Structure 1
């Protein structure tokens, strides 16, 4: 699988570190109950199909990327810098 970094261009996925579902950025409040935090940390969906994920360009420019891809076919639909994705 290859990801096209908006800064560095097309790169092998081994340059990137997968961080999980991009929606996981929605953290619970600091004073949330321990069970809410435990659920947020440990109960993850594992969808088959189109997802939005967070990737870190560890062996490149150190950018955080929001990647929209199909987890079954690994087809990449979009790659954006996280700052750009947040502006939408």
Structure 2
């Protein structure tokens, strides 16, 4: 499986470590109301979709960057990848 790294081009998936659901970028605010419940959901509750899904991948054997990879969990087809930093900054500004 080849991952289209936004800076380095196509890279073999064996260079990466898969972390899981990219919703981990949506860390709850510990100062918000009911933070214990929010963190419980954040840590323990995960979707396991069949189909297109966004995941966090770490380029461990490369430039050590974090990527958000969009792929099909049914076919394992990689549909795209972007730097997790860019995704997080976009989320802060209210985007997706």
What TM-score, normalized by structure 2, do the two folds share?
Answer: 0.78
Please state how far the C-alpha of 1:71 moved relative to its aligned partner: 0.6
Spell out the pairing of 1:1-88 with structure 2 (5 A cutoff): 1-31=1-31, 32-85=34-87, 86-87=89-90
What is the SS of the residue equivalent to 2:37?
helix
**What do you get for the CA RMSD once the two structures are aligned?**
1.7
TM normalised by structure 1 equals: 0.84
Count how many residue pairs are aligned between Structure 1 and Structure 2: 88
1:34 is paired with a residue of what secondary structure? helix
Alignment CA distance shift 1:45-1:83 (3 Å): same
Gaps of 5+ in 2: none
| Cα shift at 1:7 | 2.3
Question: SS where residue 41 of structure 2 aligns?
Answer: helix
Is contact 1:63–1:81 with CA below 8 Å preserved after alignment? yes
Structure 1 unmatched ranges of 5 or more: none
